[in-house]
Structure 1
Amino acid sequence: MTSLGIDHHVSAEFAPETTFLNTAVRGLLPRRAAEAVQALTAELVSGGRSGSGDFATVDRARASFARLVGVDPSRVATGGSVAVHVGLIAASLPAGAEVLFPEGDFSSLINPFVLRGDLKPRFAPLDELADAIRPKTALVAFSTVQSADGRTADCAAIREAAAAHGARTLADTTQSAGWQPLDAGAYDYSVTGAFKWLLCPRGTSFLTVGEAAQESLAPLHGGWLAAADAWNSTYGPIGEVVADARRFDEPPAFLAHHGAAAALSLIEEIGVDAIHRHDLALAARYRAGLAGLGHAPVPGASPIVSVPGLADREPELARAGVVVAARAGHLRATFHLYNTEADVDRLLDVLAG
């Protein structure tokens, strides 16, 4: 993937009317994605034959995501939410299985396991997660980048320790896919909410399943789409189940996935490496400015920068047209491809009063 220049794409695709520094909540929708959704909506209104949506477009989104995270499309299932993907994995575990999580990770990754009621959840500090894996651990589930404060997991150490103890790994890449180079194939499972750094409409998510792990999952919500011959399996029990990860697809929300196929093409055109450099440079500028104001953010190296004790400044910033978030007692700002140094400086100016 070769970058054609971030500035060129930003001017063509985005027109924010605020200083938008809130991608960890939702990404801005590129113009091309909005146009794709509008085109399908027009078909739905007019009664055109293609108004139901296009499975080939869903597959384009699948393939684009697969390229971005370094796996074959046959290992990718499409869906609408991380919690549903995680629920499928939670349903596959035997009663009494131990699942290890970082303390304070995002609820959608944790609750499907906890709410089963017959598993054994255990928690450890993020920086001690690899050391907390033990022979009884069946699964380690963690976000590669923490939503609350942007801390990054030591993914290599976690994978190594999990392999040593025979535990499987589930990586939530919702806060990293789109800005951080990833190899989803290094994990047994990965889940990604694509409406943040991947700039897709909400209602788009992806599950990757390793070949060995695939046999442990049942296609509980596949419906007729789980069939090898889907169009001849629309009534009654399906016959042969499709051999790859499509068996785990949720029925597609076509409006979301039509927008996703367009949005993901933009990420591919720019290139994750270029976005990575851009986003981290803006975060470094903000961290330096915070130090000059006497504020100490949570240490880290991601475009999510959280400052303890400043959450109460969020309403003031909103009134000034600076969109950030208050999370876990922190003021959280996030920097992505459509942000500039001027956005960073505007945030710092308001914080300086």
Structure 2
Amino acid sequence: MRTAFGEKFDVPPGYLNTASLGIPTLTTANAVAASVSRWAAGQADAPDYDLPVRQARTAFAELIGVPVERVASGSGVSPLVAQVAAGVPDGARVLVAEGEFTSVSFPFAAQAARGVTVTAAPLDRLAERAADFDLVAVAVVQSADGAVVDLDGLRASGARVLLDVSQSLGWFPHDLAWADWVVGAGYKWLLAPRGSAWLAVRPEAADWTLPVAANWYAGDDPWKTVYDLPLRLAPDARAYDLSPAWLAQAGAAAALPWIAGLDLAAVRDHAVGLADALLAALGLPPRGSAIVSIAGEGVAERLAEAGIRCATRAGRARLAFHLYSDENDLDRAISALTRGNGQISESI
């Protein structure tokens, strides 16, 4: 058991895989377990989950710096992005990063029958090319290698912008009220269960957001819109809500408010400090990201043998340092990567 930032985590030594799956606080794990117990005992009642949905939604809004009325709740990134992709005009030109996570790019590519085109460009050129497109859809931090997009450049471009914060929110301080859409999953750096996700919609972007998954929970009063017509959706971003995964929301309601109460600059400094220390030990320059992508012969095998839990993405080992990572994890990774004569390099 580890203690970090005032919470306890049952995280094993060498766990550097938060970019795939975050480890919950003990409080969050207990909240989910208690919710399962109430369900199993026949004590759960559907309206009881409205409060955790509201608590998680409110915390997500706080984390990205927007009013809660702008935030829709869902279960995954791609179904939320799909409501944007379905709403862009026929013939819209969309710009994405090369190698972008497909939950961001595929919903737009699926609109090809309407003449919507999707163009991929290097991440470091998105800002300079953005003005030539109707919309830019990109992750703030890239899943494959941890590269960080030029947010200031995108903001100044004048293009509509959709940002995916799934690999950044929780360690990277954000103030994204300017972005047209902000989407994020809860099960990575936010340390919530899979099945929780959110979409923030700027009021000026509502004309390009279509509630294609309209359902009872998106109604103006969910417990009065469970039957019959006419269509009566919520007057704010709840109109884009997806029916909640209740147990996941029970965990998100414990996880997100806690993270929203942290000093995220301190979390960033801790996680990035460990990541950059690993790069320095390998003779590589710092990058200011909590995610490190390492290429080299036998790298994944050496890490696994040393008890390092990480992922392989785009043919490289991906290590992710979060608030519960510590010096022992760092030393274990350094030892594994500096053992032997195989050449090591970082993906840029």
Q: Same fold (TM over 0.5)?
A: yes
1:99/1:139 contact within 8 Å kept:
yes
2:86/2:212 contact within 8 Å kept:
no
Amino acid at match of 1:84: P
Partner of 2:184: 192
Amino acid at match of 2:12: E
2:74/2:244 contact within 8 Å kept:
yes
Amino acid at match of 2:313: R
State the shift of 1:51 in Å.
Answer: 6.4
Partner of 1:67: 62
State the shift of 1:318 in Å.
Answer: 2.0
- 1:282-321 to 2 correspondence within 5 Å? 282-291=274-283, 296=284, 300-310=287-297, 312-321=298-307
State the shift of 1:307 in Å.
Answer: 1.7
Superposed CA deviations along residues 228-282 of structure 1, whole A, max 9, x for unmatched, are 2222221112453211111111100010011011111321333212211111111
Partner of 2:15: 20
1:338 pairs with one of 306, 309, 324: 324
Secondary structure of the equivalent of 2:319?
strand
CA distance in 2, matches of 1:65, 1:198: 10
Amino acid at match of 1:302: S
Secondary structure of the equivalent of 1:92?
coil
Q: Does 1:120 align with 2:117?
A: yes
Superposed CA deviations along residues 37-61 of structure 1, whole A, max 9, x for unmatched, are 1111111111114367511111000
Secondary structure of the equivalent of 2:112?
coil
Secondary structure of the equivalent of 1:19?
coil
Amino acid at match of 1:256: A
2:271 pairs with one of 279, 282, 296: 279
Superposed CA deviations along residues 287-308 of structure 1, whole A, max 9, x for unmatched, are 11111xxxx47x6211111123
Secondary structure of the equivalent of 2:233?
coil
CA distance in 2, matches of 1:221, 1:75: 17
Secondary structure of the equivalent of 1:20?
coil
CA distance in 1, matches of 2:89, 2:7: 50
State the shift of 1:83 in Å.
Answer: 0.8
Partner of 2:346: none
2:314 pairs with one of 308, 321, 328: 328
Superposed CA deviations along residues 204-223 of structure 1, whole A, max 9, x for unmatched, are 11101001112332222231
State the shift of 1:17 in Å.
Answer: 2.3
Structure 1, gaps ≥5 residues long: 1-6
Amino acid at match of 1:192: G
State the shift of 1:124 in Å.
Answer: 1.2
Q: Which has the higher helix share?
A: 1
Superposed CA deviations along residues 320-348 of structure 1, whole A, max 9, x for unmatched, are 21111221122211110001112101111
1:41/1:51 contact within 8 Å kept:
no
1:106 pairs with one of 101, 110, 119: 101
Please, which moves more after superposition, 126-135 or 15-24?
A: 126-135
Give the TM-score taking structure 2 as reference length.
Answer: 0.91
2:13/2:328 contact within 8 Å kept:
no
- 1:1-353 to 2 correspondence within 5 Å? 8-9=3-4, 12-50=7-45, 53-118=48-113, 119-135=116-132, 137-161=133-157, 163=158, 167-291=159-283, 296=284, 300-310=287-297, 312-353=298-339
1:105/1:147 contact within 8 Å kept:
yes
Secondary structure of the equivalent of 1:142?
strand
Of all paired residues, the percent bearing the same amino acid is 38
Q: Give the root-mean-square deviation of aligned CA atoms.
A: 1.8
2:310/2:320 contact within 8 Å kept:
yes
Superposed CA deviations along residues 110-161 of structure 1, whole A, max 9, x for unmatched, are 11111222311112111111121244x2111111111111111111111211
Partner of 1:4: none
State the shift of 1:184 in Å.
Answer: 2.4
1:37/1:255 contact within 8 Å kept:
yes
CA distance in 1, matches of 2:227, 2:322: 46
